[in-house]
Amino acid sequence: MVLKKDDIIELDIEKIVYGGEGLGYYNDEFAIFVPMSVPGDRVKIKIISVKKSYARGIITEIIRPSSERKNDGLISFEEFEGCDFGMMNYGAQLKYKQLMVKEVIERIGKNKKVEIEEILESPIIENYRNKIVEPFSFQNGKIITGFFKRKTHDVFEVENNILNSKLGNGIIKRLKELLNQDGVSVYDEKKHKGILRHIMIKTNSYNQAMVVLIINAIEVPEKIRKILLNLKESIVEIISIYVSLNPKKTNVAIGDKNQLIFGEKTIKERVGKIEFNISPTSFFQINTSQIERLYSQAINMFDNIEEKNIVDAYSGTGTLAMLLSDRANKVYSIEIVKSAIEDGKKTAKENQIENIEFICGDVTKEIEKLMKKESVDSIIFDPPRKGIDEKTLIEISKTGIKEIVYISCNPSTFARDVQILEKLGYRLERVKPVDMFPQTSHIEVIGRLTKIGG
């Protein structure tokens, strides 16, 4: 039988592949990828696309559940509130994340020699996100927020987001009540009309919140201002409210201009001994319970750290740089986002940290300038998901830096970049997966590389 779209078949799921989808073989030879499936499942699926060498299907019925599947009768991405690993027990999530890292290091990184160390589990596996961004939509006569359905820009509503902090969930629920009472228009990306685009909530371990309402406008309408001040009166934990003005035709959520409506310019978060300032645009790891554990793993990968001058590239608010400063001789924090650098300087001053220098600019250019005037022993990367461009890696290799620690939220770009570095004379010595994102297929990874002959 030749498969075609909309066919219904039964399939045994054999493994999880990188990206989080289950894989089974039709007639023992034709690969079929099935999201929300678990190895050991026997499922009935509907074929949604067919290519020359593989197909994709969605589950319509679980005939025999895997022993690693949660016994709750749910099957779809929407039923699991946008959590593509939400159908597995946590032990299974960890097992398959570790295997995915191994697969991608071997397949993309072309490295079968390095040992993948045991994954570091998260101490909290639900309601752990200190930041959430949800798009607005108008459905069935009311304003909703939620997640995009897979492969679309169609929003589905989640009543109780199991990833978001409980405080964040409560704020979003109350905000939607107020917006529906006043009938504010929702942005239509096709027509480029309407006001409400996204809601961002940042929370901290002190149970405080920053609210950032992202709208399609060039100034803050008085109606929006009144709604947000009303929201503040309803929820006393809100200590900061911004409106982000984003009138552009873009998929980027936050705008270029962020106007403070109420309260503090930043919220604070403590990691180890240090209290950090977090603004609407600054990057901060989203799983507060795991931040210190992640960075401790990375810092401990350096040899003789007390004697070293270290560059923290893609530094964000300087979280890692300031934790490094407690043990390293000198730290240079490089970040292109000006507001993040300002947050970092403020934090360093408040915490009386003096052996750190903040540099605002492009990593490639700033490292080159820095190396001409200062002695740098090691570098640590924590780049965006897209990884590091080859030109930057080449320039860094030319500096002769002997030790690199690389933190990545995207194992595939990590593996790609590591392969480039290995061709440039570095050796990958350690790989440590860290689970920053329970209930999802996303995984953080830390690697250590040294210059061969260095």
Partners of residue 257 on adjacent β-strands: 245
Asked whether the beta carbons of 448 and 429 are under 8 A apart, the reply is yes
- The 3-class SS string of the chain reads CCCCCCCEEEEEEEEECCCCCEEEEECCCEEEEECCCCCCCEEEEEEEEECCCEEEEEEEEEEECCCCECCCCCCCCCCCCCCCCCCECHHHHHHHHHHHHHHHHHHCCCCCCCCECCCECCCCCCCCECEEEEEEEEECCEEEEEEECCCCCCEEECCCCCCECHHHHHHHHHHHHHHHHHCCCECECCCCECCEEEEEEEECCCCCEEEEEEECCCCCCHHHHHHHHHHHHHCCCEEEEEEEECCCCCCCCCCCEEEEEEECCCEEEEECCEEEEECCCCCCCCEHHHHHHHHHHHHCCCCCHHHCEEEEECCCCCHHHHHHHCCCCEEEEEECCHHHHHHHHHHHHHCCCCCEEEEECCHHHHHHHHHHHCCCCEEEECCCCCCCCHHHHHHHHHHCCCEEEEEECCHHHHHHHHHHHHHCCEEEEEEEEECCCCCCCCCEEEEEEEECCC
Residue whose C-alpha is closest to residue 78's, from 148, 2, 140, 131: 148
Active-site position among 239, 409, 415, 420 = 409
The sheet that has 257-263: what strands, in order across it? 155-157, 142-148, 131-139, 196-203, 209-215, 238-245, 257-263
Q: Is 409 a catalytic residue?
A: yes
Asked whether the beta carbons of 45 and 11 are under 8 A apart, the reply is yes
Residue whose C-alpha is closest to residue 247's, from 219, 216, 221: 216
| The two three-digit tokens of residue 288, written as one number | 């507060």
Partners of residue 26 on adjacent β-strands: 30
Rounded to whole angstroms, the Cα distance separating 37 from 14 reads: 10
What residues are annotated to the active site? Answer: 409
